[in-house]
Amino acid sequence: MKIDYPKLEKKINYKFKNKNLLIKSLTHKSFDKINNNEKIEFLGDRVLGLIIAKKLLEIYPDEKEGILDKKYASLVNKKTCLEIAKSVKLQNYILVFNPKNKSVTIEDKVISDSCEALIGAIYLDRGFNLTEKIILDLWKEKIKGSVITQVDAKTKLQEFSLKKFKSLPTYKTISDTGPRHKPIFRVAVKLQNTKFYNGDGKSKKEAEQKAALFCLNDNLIL
């Protein structure tokens, strides 16, 4: 099946100089173990983060760091990347292993990762300024609607784990450092089928919340 890449370029309002970068950014490792989008995704994740952080500082110059951090997390997490990707039907352009050339359902994580890879490809193709313009256009409504949602991440993660695995998340304290009057706790959490996610905080409770939030974000649960 031939993929209509120009149609995608029209959707994102960007025409690649190097078409190979576009194709590589949408090539999953199941399709090509060597020439795939894993490393470009790594780059795209950082570029997206920098652009969103810069924009938030411009919009909210007097906002507290903690509030900015929550706004930032809501704009760059996997769930938001997935929503942006699906808004341009990115799943229709991703190359995955499909020996029988039949219609396949692409996993949400593959789609959100490909969104980040596409950002990395645009950056490699034309540099920071044009990439910033594309991202701010695609994320425009998300940035407008960026609100602080006070999520009890630990409770949400517990509810998900009980529903899916019939078991509670596993927490463990990694470290307790710093002076007694100003300690820093590091806590890790994992679900039945995930790696451990670390969170740091001024209290054990805060560290648990951050670890739970990282786990929720990375597994598209939020």
Q: Choose the catalytic residue: 41, 45, 113, 125.
A: 45
Q: What is the CATH number of the domain that holds 31?
A: 1.10.1520.10
Residue 90 sits in the same domain as residue 66: yes
Q: What is the pLDDT of residues 33-85, one digit of tens each?
A: 999 999 999 999 999 999 999 999 998 888 888 888 889 999 999 999 999 99
pTM across the whole model: 0.68
Catalytic residue list contains 69: no
Question: What's the mean pLDDT in 124-135?
Answer: 97
Residue 137 sits in the same domain as residue 170: no
Q: What percent of the chain has pLDDT above 90?
A: 73
> Which of 117, 144, 171 is at the close of a domain?
144
Residue 112 sits in the same domain as residue 70: yes
Residue 161 sits in the same domain as residue 178: yes
> Which of 111, 144, 177 is at the close of a domain?
144
Q: What pLDDT score does 148 carry? A: 47
Residue 137 sits in the same domain as residue 109: yes
Residue 124 sits in the same domain as residue 190: no
Catalytic residue list contains 62: no
Residue 45 sits in the same domain as residue 105: yes
The token duo for 65 is 């760091």
> Which of 116, 144, 172 is at the close of a domain?
144
Residue 202 sits in the same domain as residue 104: no
Where residue 150 falls among pLDDT bands split at 50, 70, 90? very low
Q: Choose the catalytic residue: 41, 116, 132, 208.
A: 116
Residue 107 sits in the same domain as residue 186: no
Q: What pLDDT score does 151 carry? A: 54
Domain of 69 in residue numbering reads as 5-144
Q: What is the pLDDT of residues 33-44, one digit of tens each?
A: 999 999 999 999
Rounded Cα distance between 73 and 140, Å, is 16
How many domains would you assign to the chain?
2
The amino acid present at 80, given as its one-letter code, is: T
Q: How far is CA 6 from CA 2, 3, 13, in A?
A: 12, 9, 10
Q: What pLDDT score does 137 carry? A: 97
Across the beta sheet with 184-190, the strand order is 170-177, 184-190, 197-201
Rounded Cα distance between 131 and 142, Å, is 17
Residue 140 sits in the same domain as residue 204: no
Where residue 217 falls among pLDDT bands split at 50, 70, 90? confident
Q: How far is CA 117 from CA 23, 27, 77, 175, in A?
A: 10, 9, 14, 34
Q: Indicate whether 13 pLDDT > 60.
A: yes
Residue 70 sits in the same domain as residue 159: no
Q: What is the CATH number of the domain that holds 165?
A: 3.30.160.20
* Alpha helices, DSSP H, located in the chain: 5-12, 19-25, 38-59, 65-76, 78-87, 108-126, 128-138, 140-144, 153-165, 204-218
Q: What pLDDT score does 146 carry? A: 73
